[in-house]
Amino acid sequence: MFAARQVSQSVFGAAQRRAFSATSNNLSKVAVLGAAGGIGQPLSLLLKLNPRVTELALYDIKGAPGVAADISHINTKSTVKGYDPTPEGVRECLTGAEIVLIPAGVPRKPGMTRDDLFNTNASIVRDLAKHAAASCPDANILIISNPVNSTVPITAEVFKAAGVYDPKRLFGVTTLDVVRASRFISQLKSTDPANENITVVGGHSGATIVPLLSQAGYSLEGAEKDEYIKRVQFGGDEVVQAKGGAGSATLSMAMAGARFAESLLKAAQGEKGVIEPTYVDSPLYKDQGVTYFASQVELGPNGVEKIHPVGKVTEFEQGLLDVCLKDLKTNIEKGEKWVKENPGN
Ligand SMILES: NC(=O)c1ccc[n+]([C@@H]2O[C@H](COP(=O)([O-])OP(=O)(O)OC[C@H]3O[C@@H](n4cnc5c(N)ncnc54)[C@H](O)[C@@H]3O)[C@@H](O)[C@H]2O)c1
Ligand SMILES: O=C(O)C[C@H](O)C(=O)O
């Protein structure tokens, strides 16, 4: 059998473990809301293997105590607890959390867009955001539930209404787009994907996902370029189709979510120069009415440290960005309008 120490040693390298032991006094409670789902379970597993996490708190409307009991047998130091689906349960789960990951909600089926999930997921995210605003207003909130372009503004409005909004602490998780863009170029160029880090900006759906290949020194042409862009923008659909109605990306998303949480923990524990692309309250295109935008973001002890500008792009990439901004504005306004009209209880 593969011992947990071996797993954590292979997932987390020697340098990382050394860095961690230098900061091992840090206590980091990480909460997962939607922990019994397709993403929630492998994400919780990866967080249990992360030596930076000291307490793992799992919540779901069903099954969280079972997932917690299972994961808690893994021989890493962190404690794990699954909470009952009650107001007290979610409150206890969130109290003291430094990071809250939210993959709660329904996934797509073939033929659906992420926006088709809005009617169901908007209220799930709104209600969980209310709990977070009340129980852990200073936590970093990581939104995975789709449509991310709209669920992040919904969360922001809930925190604003509660008087606890800190734009530095709210993140739409777009890491999977970067993971895909990097993997797909490595397949075309026969390079090691571990050495690829393609910047992806914009948002997290179709045309709002804009990979900036030129910034990595790549220039694709013709059909190869079109196919690459389409694959990055519609990589999620590839998985939805392949799963044939059984959901969307879960395992790759768990890896991406765990990577983003790890980056935040590293930054919180004093590591400098930690940069991840993420969808945040951003000044970059506010003059065009686009108030949230994903670009490279430097993370620090207080969440967002510095939002990097998009940088130099080709004329072709600028064309993609123009389409992205138009769609994003619509997605953001939809979320903000809905939550104003549906403030919940
Ligand atoms: N950001 C991204 O890159 C990305 C990638 C993949 C999937 N997603 C999105 O993540 C979401 C979850 O996907 P999944 O495959 O894990 O779905 P899933 O149906 O397998 O799991 C969702 C879980 O959320 C739980 N849940 C529902 N309502 C809840 C509530 N009010 N409180 C707590 N838990 C609740 C369900 O019980 C379930 O266990 C979907 O919206 C999907 O579109 C986002
Ligand atoms: O495609 C989806 O619906 C899930 C997710 O957003 C993804 O990019 O895989």
Tell me how far the alpha carbon of residue 312 lies from the centroid of ligand 1, in angstroms: 35
Q: What percent of the chain has pLDDT over 90?
A: 92
Residue with tokens 């709210």: 170
CA torsion, points 53, 257, 253, 121, in degrees to nearest 10? 110
Can you tell me the ipTM of this complex?
A: 0.99
CA dist 287 → 282, 305, 332 (Å): 11, 21, 14
27 — pLDDT class (breaks 50, 70, 90): confident
Helix/strand/coil for 66 = helix
Does pLDDT of 9 surpass 80?
A: no
Q: What is the mean pLDDT of residues 293-315?
A: 98
Does pLDDT of 1 surpass 50?
A: no
Residue with tokens 């370029």: 225
State the chain's mean pLDDT as an integer.
Answer: 94
Q: Which two tokens stand for residue 203?
A: 């948002």
Atom of ligand 2 nearest to the CA of 240: 1
Question: Does the annotation mark 204 as catalytic?
Answer: yes
Does pLDDT of 26 surpass 90?
A: no
- Give the residue, by CA position, lying nearest to ligand 1 atom 2: 144
* Per-residue confidence (pLDDT) for residue 12, from 0 to 100: 53
Question: pLDDT per residue over 192-213, tens digit each?
Answer: 999 999 999 999 999 999 999 9
Tell me how far the alpha carbon of residue 173 lies from the centroid of ligand 2, in angstroms: 11
Atom of ligand 1 nearest to the CA of 121: 41
Question: pLDDT per residue over 139-165, tens digit each?
Answer: 999 999 999 999 999 999 999 999 999
Contacts of 264 (CB under 8 A, 6+ apart): 99, 140, 142, 171, 274, 299, 303
Tell me how far the alpha carbon of residue 145 lies from the centroid of ligand 2, in angstroms: 9
Pairing state between β 200-202 and 99-102: unpaired
Q: Which two tokens stand for residue 84?
A: 């009952």
Q: In the structure, which protein residues have their CB atom closer than 6 angstroms to any atom of ligand 1?
A: 33-34, 36-40, 59-62, 103-108, 117, 121, 124, 128, 144-146, 148, 173, 176, 204, 247-250, 253
* Per-residue confidence (pLDDT) for residue 345, from 0 to 100: 85
